[in-house]
Amino acid sequence: ARRTMMASVAGKQMPLLRSSASLIGAGVRRGGRVVYASPCAALRNDSFQDTSPRPGRRAVSTLILLRHGQSMWNGSNARFTGWCDIPLTVRGRVEAVAAGQLLRGRGFKASSVCVAFASELQRSHETCELALASMAGHEQETWSSERIRRDWRLNERHYGCVQGRFKNDPQLAEKYGSDTLMEWRRSMHGKPPPMDKSHEYYLPPPAPLTESLADCQTRVLSCFEDTIAPALFDEEGLPIPPDDRTIIVVAHSNTIRSLIAYFDDVPEDLVTEIYVPN
């Protein structure tokens, strides 16, 4: 069960956190490990690489990062979804269940999950519920939706004026250029022009008007420092001691990309190569 998923960075496989690493930030000084589970890879049963700790190493808290399953705006005709509250497809629900089965098969049962975090968007929350129920297997009494804590700071990165538009829209490419669109999507600091209140998908604050990945990372790390790290290491009253807790975060491509970049000190020129599939 001591395994972790690998992320694709610059065409190479790299661990999100090496087994000897610690979570640094938010005053955290105790050991931790990250497991990344991909819903679509769960269907192939190839989501983990063994990084078993050295013999005699003490137990550590475990943070599982899981992207939501396929939504109605993912796939071959994808849109800039951002903060639009788009539901899962049937395939996305199957992926969420498969991710939970894979985690259970690797020793992560629902009963070991003290807290699960999800964004305010339904595709994240539904994936979280389905994965936890699947991790419980026939022991459905071992999980409860009351363990899920929702936080808007885990919402997907906001795409400004292009939010809701098709990513392959030729009018966008003609207006802004393909290279600019790719920079907005993949780089750390590129961002689309902001939307205004007349935009079809405008939302009031705390929704931003546009974001770069760096902007998204700032609010995600704020959530990590305020709520996730304390649940991992400090919060009292949870059923499992801090040194052996499992916490799940079910979020979105760019919120997880920003966490990967932070945890693993990924250089900015390689951030464009971090891919988090559904």
- Judged on CB neighbours under 10 Å (0-12, 13-18, 19+), 53 is middle
- The gap from C-alpha 101 to its chain's centroid, in whole angstroms, comes to 18
**Which residues form the catalytic set?**
68, 156
How far, in Å, CA of 27 to CA of 25, rounded? 5
Dihedral angle of Cα 69, 126, 234, 243, to the nearest 10 degrees: -60
- CA distances for 223 relative to 3, 234, 242, 269, angstroms: 25, 15, 19, 25
How far, in Å, CA of 211 to CA of 121, rounded? 17
Decide: 217 and 262 in contact? Cβ < 8 Å.
yes
> What would the two tokens of residue 234 be?
């400090």
Instruction: Give first-to-last CA distance, the chain, whole Å.
Output: 22
How far, in Å, CA of 212 to CA of 186, rounded? 9
